[in-house]
Amino acid sequence: METGHEIREAIARRDRSAEEVTRAALDAIGRVEPSLRAYITLLPERALAKAREVDAKIAKGEPVGKLAGVPTAVKDLFCLKDALTTCGSKILANFKPPFSSTVVERLDSADAVIVGKTNMDEFAMGSSCENSAFFPTRNPYDLEGVPGGSSGGSASTVGARSVPLAVGTDTGGSIREPASFCNIVGVKPTYGRVSRYGMIAFASSLDQAGPMTADVRDAADLLGAIAGFDPMDSTSVDVPVPDYGVGLRDDLKGVRIGIVRDFEDSIAVDPKMAKLYKDAYEDLRKLGATFVDVTLPHAKYGLATYYLIAPAECSSNLARYDGTRYGVRVDGDADVYAMFDKTRTAGFGDEVKRRIVLGTYALCSGYYDAYYVRAQKVRTLMKHDFDTAFAACDVIACPAVSCPPFELGAKSDPVAMYLMDYFTIPMSLAGIPAMSVPGGFVDGLPVGLQICAPAFEEARMLAVAHAYEQATRHAAKLQPVVS
């Protein structure tokens, strides 16, 4: 399958119909799904109906949306009216929301063709997609390997080139890490850039939806379609959405790139990874960029800070799943509390329970100041670190991950899994935009380069990523093992 912009142009030229494209995407998914298992729910009827609607508009000469006819997958935590929306959890295994999320509505009005709901770590907690309550998803470049998480299904289906566009969410790295593992582009926008309305919450002060795509241009187009103020989300920000495709560049003359000295020691642990990133910075330099050393002195506290704030917010967000209003219920014989107890015991997986316990503990009166309030203070310091860094540079380039995709089952210790978020969490805590763009290969497997920018400067970040992508074209150098 080609990129989204190639498909859109072919449909606009009437070289292909949206229905043909949709059938081809559904076939491609069908061929690889037995090995990848990227989807929890496929929506072939809805997709074909939408494609026919697009074709009818084109036949009548009516205007079509910016993503007209482009096959698109959405992570299974975006509410989609009357379609199963499980969040990767048994507790929502039967949940069909009565309304659609703003992201889904914006995709619909951009005339994207939504093909299905993708697998994910339960409630977006994880870095490998192995915490899905249903089944793990595989990496299209190594079937023994994980696709990353938590947006693993979205990354896997785009990485397999079954569809060019998917939407994921990123709380502490869940778009960027799987994008890195699956040889695709993944963008976490500024907190507040994309509406969270109808997106099942994990940690509300961090969650943000964003594009996972075949290339940077597709990411720019998809972001343009889903971004923007939404009165239904009080944290969405009323800042105009530029046309992200317009400013994409092919060189980096005059761009000052910050290199995070504090990260150099961390990545040096693995010489192959260190070399990959050195080479990536060299490629940026060849494009005309100049380099500035920056420091993020509080980044080393990122993991500890995130793993207090995120569980604290999740323990509160997940209190609503008690069998009373929606989702799965397991009746208790004694009283309503027994019902809550049985429902939550049966409905949540181990990682979700671990986070609820951690978060509830951190929020207990007496511990609240020592943990949650303190973590918020560190978060503020981290934000200051970035403000200072961006006074000296336009964007920051740094590792997205510490390793190439690992094998299923390789990280059974929760802390080993948490360490996967080392390079992605600081930007999440600061609320700034950050993305992963294919950066090369280690041991024959994909690794992403991370680029981040000040709040609401997604256009600047995408422009740099585009120049790098066009010069290096790493994504095209490796073919998926299934297609």
Enumerate binding residues for ligand GLN (CB under 6 A). Answer: 124-127, 150, 170-174, 202, 310, 421
Q: Which is nearer to ligand GLN, 1 or 199 (CB)?
A: 199
Please identify, using beta-carbon distances, which residue of 77 and 462 lies nearer to ligand GLN.
Answer: 77
Q: How far is the CB of 109 from ligand GLN (least distance, A)?
A: 26
Residue nearest to ligand GLN (CB): 174
User: Whole-number minimum distance, CB 354 to ligand GLN, in Å?
Assistant: 10
CA distance 76 to 117: 5
Residue 177: CB minimum distance to ligand GLN, A: 7
The catalytic position among 50, 75, 117, 411 is: 75
Give 126 or 211: the residue with its C-beta nearer to ligand GLN: 126
Is 412 among the residues known to form the active site?
A: no
The residue (of 154 and 174) whose beta carbon lies closer to ligand GLN is 174
Least distance from ligand GLN to the Cβ atom of residue 65, Å: 28
The burial of 363, by beta-carbon neighbours within 10 Å (0-12 exposed, 13-18 middle, 19 or more buried), is given as: middle
- Report the amino acid identity of residue 48: L
- Closest approach, Cβ 382 to ligand GLN, in A, equals 16
In the complex, what is the shortest distance from the CB of residue 263 to ligand GLN, in angstroms, rounded to a whole number?
Answer: 18
Residue 142: which of 478, 443, 481 has the closest Cα? 481
Task: Say whether 174 is catalytic.
Answer: yes
Choosing from 100, 101, 127, 150, the catalytic residue is 150
Residue whose CB is less far from ligand GLN, 124 or 163: 124
| C-beta of 150 vs 343, nearer to ligand GLN | 150
Q: One of 100, 127, 151, 174 is an active-site residue; which one?
A: 174
Q: What token pair was written down for 93? A: 């295994």
Does residue 109 have an active-site annotation?
A: no
Q: Is the Cβ–Cβ distance between 408 and 433 less than 8 Å?
A: no
Instruction: Specify the residue, 226 or 310, whose C-beta has the smaller distance to ligand GLN.
Output: 310
Shortest reach from residue 426's CB to ligand GLN, in Å: 13
Residues designated as active site: 75, 150, 174
